Amino acid sequence: MNNPPHFTWDDLQFFLAVARTGQLSTAARQLRSSHATVSRRIDRLEFTLKVKLFERNPRGYVLTAMGTRFVETAERMEQETERLRADLADGSMAQRGLVRLSAPEGFANFFFATVLPQFAAQHPHLSLELVTIQQIMSLSRKEADLSVVLDEPKGGPYFAEKLTDYHLQIYGSRDYLAKAPAITCREDLLEHPFVSYIEEMIFAPGLDYLGDVHPRIKPQFQSSSIFAQLTATRNGLGLCILPYFFASRYPELVRVLPEEIDLKRHYWITCHRDLKQAPRVRAVIDFLREAVRGEDTRFVPPYVTAAGPARRARES
């Protein structure tokens, strides 16, 4: 009679690390182990379970169909393990581990990076990876633990909570506007070069806003980077639609048609529902919520009379 399969939680940690990263070396770094040890643990787990969990190729490890199914089981066990650790440890020690956060470039560089010292002080045992190439990150494939997004997820096993509204207006540099034709109405905008996103590389509907200003605007300079757009605008290349929370930092930038054009968008924090209660993930969600709440005036400018952003949570 064959013995039933036997494996330890330790083996599942190695499995999940490889499943989430697709790379032995990255998983080894996260687990503070070696490439060889991770490979050996995966081989042992596959031998014990008598199933193939990964396809090996030159680019890394890719989950098989059985491996994908096994991820759900392993993550439930991970969640219960983290809950047990939280019950056994004090609050600060329970929040340990690595969290990968995906966020838009503007939010990451011009807001979150500015509050990182507070985050580090509050959570000294948490390591953070901040990814701003959002269009290639996927919560469903576990490429990120958390994402700040512009559009609320529709369907799927995700938790989502609105962090804040934010406002955008048209900006131009003082030098550019001093030499350019006067702008008194929307039609005048057609006489000016615009800086914007590359249309086919817009990864969220919330970033496609030129049409909201005027359907006939054609950008002269396009970039996938909002930082590049900001730099081009500051250097007088033309007009650009920019978020108030960072454009207002630069005194050389002037709002154009401020009484007529004001766009509102939203930032959401979202994660896979199974990860929502993991202490390390919960710590980042709670920190972001409080950090944004304490900086409402950075996102909602004084010329907006609304009382403030409404927040709601939804599990879909």
Question: Residue 6's pLDDT is what?
Answer: 63
pLDDT score recorded for residue 205? 72
Compute CA 260 distance to the chain's CA centroid, rounded to the nearest angstrom.
31
Read out DSSP for 199-224?
A: GGG--SGGG--HHHH-TT---SEE-S
pLDDT at 179: 95
219-249 pLDDT, tens digit each: 999 998 999 999 999 999 999 999 999 999 9
**Whose CA is closest to 222, among 193, 241, 190, 195?**
195
Q: At what angle do helices 35-49 and 9-21 cross, to 10 degrees?
A: 110
pLDDT confidence of residue 92: 47
pTM: 0.66
Q: Which of 180, 163, 315, 314 is nearest to 256 (CA)?
A: 180
DSSP 188: G
pLDDT at 266: 92
Q: Which residues of the chain have pLDDT under 50?
A: 1, 4, 90, 92-93, 305-316
